[in-house]
Amino acid sequence: MTAVFKDINKFRSKISDAKGSIGFVPSLGALHEGHISLIKKSLTDNDFTVVSLFLNPTQFNDKNDLKNYPNTFDKDLKILEELKVDYLLAPEPNSIYPDDYTYKVTESKLSNILCGATRPGHFTGVLTIVAKLLNIVNADKAYFGKKDYQQYLLIDNMAKALFMKTEIVPCPIIREPSGLALSSRNLLLTENEKLIAPNLHKVISGDSTIKEMYSQLTDLGFKVDYIEEHWGRRFVAAFLGNVRLIDNVQI
């Protein structure tokens, strides 16, 4: 049975008694196979595994995006119990932000490109919540998927820059058979949009120029935010209807 904690102090008291290595998988909830792959990796690598479910309001620069984000807590808990996860941390917002979000973790270079360029405050919210959770859990390893590659890099660099105990472990992108990268936001796509969405990965995996990729995606019904290349990878963000999708491929 997965032990569920909403009280941070009770969780910290309990986890301090754990004898062995601790793995950690933070999430916003609405768990899918991508999350499950991270959890299974932690279960394999460590004596204990902690998963957090916290829909972090500070990383949403669009209030409608926060409002529409899928909430599947009961289903998520069932998944964690089936996987035999040791601990679930599901704190209330006021317990995570007792300072009313006056103290923040910011980054001044990498966070200004790609998603950071069009989502002001997003990565400050991400880094702040992850720093808080890493301090609370005090895990040996924490697992992040490469779909949010920019986020992974920022978190890894933060952990090293602030001399945090936790090793940040990158894990492969998990895709649907169609090639669409798994995301909780996929639940918000209409049936027709689900048929179109896999083209995002297909287009950026091709040999066309970036300008041609823009045109191809636009013709398919996407509203492209960016297509850029960094760190030997090609990155894309695009809206399909009201849903913002991201992906990246190695080049």
Q: Is 35 a catalytic residue?
A: yes
Every domain of the chain and the residues it spans: 3-171, 184-250
pLDDT in tens, 194-221: 999 999 999 999 999 999 999 999 999 9
Which residues 6+ apart lie within 8 Å of 84 measured at CB?
2, 43
What is the number of other CB atoms lying within 10 angstroms of the CB of residue 94? 8
Looking at residue 248, its pLDDT comes to 98
**Set 35, 122, 201, 230: catalytic member:** 35
Query: Per-residue pLDDT averaged across 18-26, rounded?
Result: 97
Looking at residue 155, its pLDDT comes to 98
pLDDT in tens, 84-129: 999 999 999 999 999 999 999 999 999 999 999 999 999 999 999 9
Looking at residue 129, its pLDDT comes to 98
pLDDT in tens, 160-206: 999 999 999 999 999 999 999 999 999 999 999 999 999 999 999 99
**Among the listed residues 80, 231, 56, the one whose alpha carbon sits nearest the alpha carbon of residue 156:** 231
**Among the listed residues 194, 143, 151, 199, the one whose alpha carbon sits nearest the alpha carbon of residue 172:** 143
pLDDT in tens, 36-74: 999 999 999 999 999 999 999 999 988 888 998 989 999
Task: Report pTM.
Answer: 0.95
Q: Which fold has domain 3-171?
A: Rossmann fold (3.40.50)
| Partners of 175 in the β-ladder | 181
Looking at residue 64, its pLDDT comes to 87
Q: Which fold has domain 184-250?
A: Pantoate--beta-alanine Ligase; Chain: A,domain 2 (3.30.1300)
